[in-house]
Structure formats: C-alpha cells, structure tokens
Amino acid sequence: MNNIVAIVGRPNVGKSTFFNRLIQRREAIVDSVSGVTRDRNYGKSEWNGKEFSVIDTGGYIKGSDDIFEAEIRRQVELAIDEADAIIFIVDVEEGITPMDDEVAKLLRKVKKPVLLVINKVDNAMREKDAVEFYNLGLGEYYTISGMSGSGTGELLDKLVEVLPEMPEVTEEVEPLPRFCVVGRPNAGKSSFINALIGEDRFVVTDIAGTTRDAIDTKYNRFGFEFNLVDTAGIRRKAKVKEDLEFYSVMRSVRAIEHSDVCLLVIDATRGFEGQDQSIFWLAEKNRKGVVILVNKWDLVEKDTMSTRDYERKIREELQPFTDVPILFISALTKQRLLKALETAVEVFENRKQRISTSKFNELMLPIIEATPPPALKGKYVKIKYCMQLPTPTPQFVFFANLPQYVKDPYKRFIENKLREQYNFSGVPIDIYFRQK
C-alpha cells in the first residue's frame, strides 16, 4: 500500500511543473496517469526504492480570484486530512504573500511531515532571498528549480525519510479478494452497501480499516468470501464541500490502489459525468477489475430503448476500454444487487485466469498470420511466438523480429481478438511486443 503525498500552495508557484517532474522522472517513475481529471493531478513516483502516490492540488482550483482563497484553504485542509506527507511550495520571486501566510498557519498545526519548498531558486542571489521564508514558522526549507530540477534530489531524500511506514496488511495466507465501492458523492454508495448488508446477515466482522478511511466488511455469498470496502465519505467533514472533485478522487485513490475489483456506482439521473470518468480511469490505470453500476435506475423514465441507449453512451465515453460489465441497479428497490456482486466475483476470476502457452500460440498465431501487422518502410513484421506473463494482472508478450514497427491500432486489434477468445470482461489487459 502506498503513502499519499499532497503538493499544496497558491496558484502559479510551480506545483504542476514539480509534479510533472516527479511523475516523469525516468529512473524514479512507476506510472503516470493521464486520464485522471484531464489535468494530470494524480500519479505514482518512486525514490530510493520507496513508492508513493502524488496528488497535485493545483489543477483542481476553479473559479475567479475571490473564490481562490476559500478553495485553496479547503484543499489544504483536505490534504492535511488525507495525505501522509505534505509538500508546501512557495515562489522566491514573489516572496511571502498573504496567501502563503494563510496556508502556513494551517500547516503549523499539523502533526504530519510538512516540507517547505522554495521554487525558482536558480542562482546564488535567489538562494539569499530564500532566507525570508524562515518567517513562515515551518522550520527548515528546501530550495529547488522546478524547471531545471536542481535541488529535487535532496528534497526527495528527505521526503522518503519522513514518510510513515505503511502497516503491513496481515491477513490469511490467501488474502481475501477486496471489492471496493467507489463513485462521486451522492451516487448511492452507502445505500448500495447498506442494502446488501441489511438484506442478509452474512456479515462476519466490521474492521475499521487497513485504509484509514474505508471500512472493510467481510462478506460471504455464493460460497465465496470477500472484503467489501466502503469508501462512502466515512469521517465526513462539515467543512469539506461534498461536490469537490479533488475530494472524491483523493478518497478513491487509496481505496482503488488497495483493491482487486472496483464497483463504480454512478447516478442514473445524472449520467456518466467527468468525475465518474476520472475514477474509472484511475481504476483502469491501476489495472484493477471494474464493474459499472448505474444506480437509481428506478427513477429514470424508460422506453423500450433506454437501457441499450444508456449503455451505448457510457461505452462511447470509455473507449478504447469498452469490455466492461454495466449493470442497472436500484439500491432502494434492491433491484439486481446480488447480480452486481456475482459480476464482481466473475471479474475477479477473469483477472486471475492463466492461459497455457501452447493453447495461446495455437489460437493467436493463425489470427496473426491471417492479419499480420502492416508493413512499414517495406519491412514486414513477423510474430513467431507469444505467451502470458506470470504477473498478478493479465499481461501478454508477442515476440517479433521488428517490435518497434508494431503500432497502437494493431495492439488494439490483438487485444480485441484476445477478448473475443477469452473472457476478460471488466479487466484491463497489457500487450507488449518484444524482440525475438
């Protein structure tokens, strides 16, 4: 399980440049996520062998200047609440501004590690100017240049040193599968879980969680045991506005990283909105199984076409990963709730299926022979052998004489053929082409 590091500060101090540097650092990078909230506000990074998730609060601020302050204060409060460490960025060119003072005031009360980072320090003169930031009362500071990257090494050394040790999850020898219920506030996550739990008394234990804000419920159905993780605004804060996009993404990050299958609950009356997509791509980039549950279906006016139309619209938004189960449910009337769990169990099984190398070659090589990759610069790509890699999520490798000539459309073609032959519904697949 990863620590979460939040980057805070007022607008235009270079938070995003620093964030991008963390995420793109070649030797220190695990995954950079572009689908999430289009502004690239979430990613994973690694330094000295320690992996952590990074959240940049920058891109979430919307509204005019006078709304900025309240909005920034709210994001800092959230970061204080949810993150394990906070990087507070200020700008040496502008010196201490009233808004920096405000943020510092909030951060001085915090019991978590806070690193004060002074950006745009790219010469000795500016090193001297940085001294005034001692006045923020946050102690030692780190000077960096987000553009050139100088100073980030020492900062990251310190960061991984102060990150708290994450508790080892001690569970049975074979840990129970974890299904997490995610979605925007008010989509009906709690009602969904309450309907399941209220309906049958299979609940064994309530563990207030391994993740600080998700509640695990051990659940036993269809002769199948699993943990149901509820992310529905546990510890709701009066001062946190429910509609803040940052809030639900930050909540979901932890739950998604720590689960096997995500049940994404969306509100049928509102449609598949930007924030639902953010959470969907978060799950997809983390290579988790996904089931989409369209809740409050009892409230929607229906005609003969409506489920088909609704489903088609959602699939258009999900492209290219459209092989995802979509179920229409109602937590209120308890419609199709058990079907939802049954589907999650199927997706879990799909995600861990293993295909024998001989069978895989028998099936895929004739397809490739019939439709080989298009020739490039007069050179023909030959694929002679393929196999599934022994990884926790489905990954397949195809050995070719000129792997660099295989482009994305052909990879998608191979993935589609693979999905036609095997049931990987709800599961992201990775396909690689390597030198023979």
Digit-coded pLDDT (tens) for 118-146: 999 988 888 888 889 999 989 899 999 87
Residues of the chain with pLDDT under 50: 25-40, 64, 171-173, 199-213, 233-243
- Of 238, 231, 276, the C-alpha closest to 256 is 231
Tell me if 340 is assigned to a ligand binding site. no
Tell me if 12 is assigned to a ligand binding site. yes
Which pLDDT tens digit goes with each residue over 150-209? 888 999 999 999 998 876 655 444 578 889 888 877 788 878 887 877 644 333 333 433
Which pLDDT score, from 0 to 100, does residue 173 have?
44
Tell me if 58 is assigned to a ligand binding site. yes
Which pLDDT score, from 0 to 100, does residue 193 have?
81
Tell me if 296 is assigned to a ligand binding site. yes
pTM above 0.75, yes or no: no
Which pLDDT score, from 0 to 100, does residue 351 have?
92
Tell me if 276 is assigned to a ligand binding site. no
Tell me if 186 is assigned to a ligand binding site. yes
Tell me if 300 is assigned to a ligand binding site. no
Tell me if 14 is assigned to a ligand binding site. yes
Tell me if 190 is assigned to a ligand binding site. yes
Interatomic CA distance for residues 198 and 175, integer angstroms: 25
Which pLDDT score, from 0 to 100, does residue 377 have?
83
Interatomic CA distance for residues 214 and 254, integer angstroms: 9
Tell me if 298 is assigned to a ligand binding site. yes
Tell me if 350 is assigned to a ligand binding site. no
Which pLDDT score, from 0 to 100, does residue 201 have?
34
Interatomic CA distance for residues 55 and 144, integer angstroms: 19
Amino acid at 241: K
Tell me if 230 is assigned to a ligand binding site. yes
Tell me if 218 is assigned to a ligand binding site. no
Which pLDDT score, from 0 to 100, does residue 198 have?
66
Interatomic CA distance for residues 117 and 39, integer angstroms: 22
Which pLDDT score, from 0 to 100, does residue 39 have?
40
Tell me if 60 is assigned to a ligand binding site. yes
Which pLDDT score, from 0 to 100, does residue 3 have?
85
